[in-house]
Amino acid sequence: MNLDNLTHTSGEWLRGAGPESDIVISSRIRLARNLAAFPFTNRASSYQKAEIEGLLRDRIAKLELDPKLGYLTVPGLSTLDRQLLVERQLISRELASSDGPRGVALGPQETVSVMVNEEDHLRLQVMRSGFTLDEAWQEIDRVDDLLEERVGYAFSEEFGYLTACPTNVGTGMRASVMLHLPALEHTKQIEKVFRSLQKINLAVRGLYGEGSRASGHFYQISNQVTLGKSETGILGEIHSVIPEIIGYERKARTSWMRDNRQGLHDKISRAYGTLCSATMMTSEETMELLSYVRLGVNLHLIDDITIPTVNELFIHTQPAHLQKLMGSALDGEERNAARARYLRTRLREDGAHPN
């Protein structure tokens, strides 16, 4: 598997083609699973971790999937390639930085990925564009069933699937939806919304999950509790609140347009103009400005650039992607210059124009 290709493509989840994709970037489901015959990863010896990794690599290769999953051994990857996979949401920061035998299996569309020897022996993930939790669940359930036929999962009739972290015991499921909420943030309604979510045990995190900041007005909403809940129950919890948040964001956008269309148009035009002309650009500033450009496209205030292109730019301007695109390691100042140059070129090619 050639990771260089990732810098010239975008995964299915970035294509902006799913339902409610003006606000919902992606839907993701993860399942935590462990093998009954081995200790949890944090209690396993190096020899046992190697056994687990070898066994799972073999079983994953034999899964009856079309297309097949490619497999990468993480210790064999450079630091830059590991960071590339983190930026692409295909592996966790923990898998990238931990020690010992570990790997990841990836589908060609980046819809399916399977981490081996992270916190749990297996972390299955399906990620799709737009508000598509049900489709993601159907796909991950199929992959999970195929794996369970080939390995013995650690399972308790009383507690459900056994996991390294007690909060994952039960279904082992984390269902999350990534939302773009610039108008709720602008109108200062976002904290009120998130306080309401926390009262019903839903977590709010940034773009890269736990511990990350909400760069570019992106937020992930996910369940926190799995014990005592069914998979359909967890999905139902998310399904019950996401349409409400989408409605709040759309209402906030409409109010912003009605009350201060000229000011909003100016903010979006300035964001686009800066991206087209700046000679230095940090990651944080890029995320902020692209967020307003994305809003402008969805409000029909910017023509001739597509949401998939903007979504792709969010990822391709991250540090590891940028260095892979440039073909060399870059320090912070060099990255800022290369990022600005890359943005100028891409936006000129796509020919976006504020209305």
What are the residue ranges spanned by the domains of the chain? 260-354
The CA distance from 343 to 339, in Å, is 6
Please list the ranges in the chain whose pLDDT falls under 70. Answer: 1, 207-214, 350-355
21-48 residue pLDDT tens: 999 999 999 999 999 999 999 999 999 9
CA angle 110, 112, 116 (to 5 degrees): 110
Helix (H) or strand (E) holding 194: helix 190-199
CA–CA distance from 201 to each of 168, 181, 210, 213, 229 (Å)? 14, 20, 15, 20, 13
Given this model, what pLDDT does residue 10 score? 84
Given this model, what pLDDT does residue 292 score? 98
* Cβ neighbours for 272, distance < 8 A, ≥ 6 positions apart: 289, 292, 293, 296, 302, 347, 352, 354
186-225 residue pLDDT tens: 999 998 888 899 888 899 987 655 555 568 999 999 998 8
The CA distance from 113 to 28, in Å, is 11
* Cβ neighbours for 71, distance < 8 A, ≥ 6 positions apart: 1, 57, 60, 61, 103, 104, 105, 106
